[in-house]
Amino acid sequence: MFNNEMKLEFISKSSNEAFARIAVAAFASQLDPTIEELADIKTAVSEAVTNSIIHGYDKKQGVVKISAWLKSNEIIIEISDKGKGIENIEQAKEPLYTTKPNLERSGMGFTIMENFMDNMEVESVVGLGTKVTMSKKINTKTENEEDEFKMLMTTNT
């Protein structure tokens, strides 16, 4: 059972990437994340949305959809498009792999998503689109306070 849910749709314009990132961050803020946790979520969303715009629609206009759910202390985010899809997901997930070497892209999008989130799954069908589902557990304040206390105790001894 989910505590809350949001859905967002926008056209595949690069200018909407920041909007998507901020909207998901605002939704995630209900879990009271740390600045670092929020930055991780924003970065992962940014990468997924950018992939949809640049690779999924490839200069064509389409719709990017974001759904997000809050479940206890976890956020689950699904970003999907009806773009051209990914032929080889495992290859696309390899660090530095890119289908757009002429652009100033590093080919690290999926790697960044995997490293900044707890889980990341990619589903794609060529010609039908791609769906990226990511999740991240947010530490409760008491867990964060305990971690900070432990760090203080180990550095002061």
Catalytic center residues? 47, 51, 105
CB-facing half-sphere around the CA of 36: CA atoms within 13 A: 6
Query: Which token pair is 23?
Result: 């909207």
19-23, Cβ contacts within 8 angstroms, sequence gap of 24 or more? 20/45, 20/46, 20/49, 20/64, 20/66, 20/79, 21/45, 21/46, 21/49, 23/66
Reduce the DSSP state of residue 90 to 3 states and report it: helix
Q: How far apart are CA 19 and CA 1, in angstroms?
A: 28
What tokens were used for 13? 């314009």
Query: Measured at the alpha carbon of residue 26, what is the angle toward residues 23 and 32, in degrees to the nearest 5?
Result: 155
